[in-house]
């Protein structure tokens, strides 16, 4: 299990981020004192650091430079600043990646997986499993008790997001934004069609009540 250290002075943001990372299978370390961030990073020896730039005592640029003097631990700068100069300065200070707030959690998770793979050669799992159902992301196929069904791109996207957050409700808005983020307008019925088709394929495998609707809230598995 990879250990991720979060350097973020906003308590709500760091706790929400930690919760999302733990659901993804990462272990989290939250810093609450900012007098010696570089020293804390070196002592904790995480697999990856998520580093804000605007911190109470020393800024992220300085911290990244100090860390780089003694370790090659991957650092992703996560900041509300979206200027090209801050991104350039972060990379020059030794950061491996730069993500701006507000971020899409799924995009941030993809950045984390990519940086970890680049640093350690660890590939993210291509098969998700939950309650006996397996989703093969490479083949876009689900299987349950020896039976299989192929999924369309959108059906797989919906199920992937739900399985990655199993036990939590995912809103219709989040699903639509995740699947059709580049499109200006998507009819609400488009999601309904894909949900219904996915439900039919799950039912054909014997999973009639696997995908649950939470009225007025969204969906969950």
In 55-185, where does DSSP find H-type helix? 60-68, 84-93, 105-120, 153-164, 172-179
pLDDT over 90 (residue 38): yes
Mean per-residue pLDDT of the chain:
89
Q: What is the pLDDT of residue 123?
A: 60
Helix (H, G, I), strand (E, B) or coil at 161: helix
pLDDT digits (tens, 9 = 90+) for 165-211: 888 999 988 888 777 754 445 567 889 999 999 999 999 999 999 99
Backbone angles phi, psi at 130, to 5 degrees: -165, 125
| Torsion angle, alpha carbons of 105, 106, 111, 115, to 10 | 100
Q: What is the pLDDT of residue 182?
A: 42
Q: What is the pLDDT of residue 186?
A: 59
Q: Is the pTM here over 0.85, yes or no?
A: no
Burial of 15: CB neighbours in 10 Å, binned 0-12, 13-18, 19+: middle
How many percent of the chain have pLDDT more than 70? 95
Average pLDDT over residues 81-85: 87
Average pLDDT over residues 43-49: 94
Angstrom distance (rounded) from CA 144 to CA 140 = 14
- Residues paired with 136 in a beta bridge: 127, 141
Name the band, by pLDDT with cuts 50, 70 and 90, for residue 164. Answer: confident
In the chain, where does DSSP find H-type helix? 11-23, 37-44, 60-68, 84-93, 105-120, 153-164, 172-179, 188-204
CA distances from 67 to 2, 7, 12, 74, 108 (A): 19, 13, 25, 10, 22
Angstrom distance (rounded) from CA 112 to CA 116 = 6
pLDDT digits (tens, 9 = 90+) for 90-144: 999 999 999 999 888 888 988 998 999 889 886 656 788 889 999 998 889 999 9
């Amino acid at each position: 299990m990879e250990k991720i250290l979060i350097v973020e002075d906003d308590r709500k943001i760091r706790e929400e981020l930690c919760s999302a990372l733990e659901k993804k299978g990462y272990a989290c370390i939250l810093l609450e004192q900012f007098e010696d961030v570089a020293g804390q990073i070196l002592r904790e020896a995480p697999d990856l650091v998520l580093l804000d730039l605007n911190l109470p005592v020393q800024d992220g640029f300085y911290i990244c430079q100090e860390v780089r003097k003694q370790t090659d631990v991957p650092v992703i700068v996560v900041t509300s600043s979206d200027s090209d100069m801050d991104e350039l300065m972060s990379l020059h200070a030794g950061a491996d990646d730069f993500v701006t707030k507000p971020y899409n959690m799924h995009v941030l998770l993809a950045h984390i997986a990519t940086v970890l793979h680049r640093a350690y050669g660890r590939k993210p799992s291509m098969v998700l499993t939950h309650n006996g159902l397996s989703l093969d992301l490479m083949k876009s196929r689900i299987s349950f008790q020896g039976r299989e069904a192929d999924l369309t791109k959108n059906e797989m996207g919906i199920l992937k997001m739900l399985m990655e957050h199993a036990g939590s409700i995912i809103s219709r808005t989040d699903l639509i934004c995740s699947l059709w983020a580049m499109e200006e307008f998507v009819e609400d019925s488009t999601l309904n069609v894909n949900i219904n088709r996915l439900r039919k394929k799950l039912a054909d495998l014997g999973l009639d009540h696997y995908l649950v609707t939470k009225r007025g809230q969204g969906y969950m598995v």
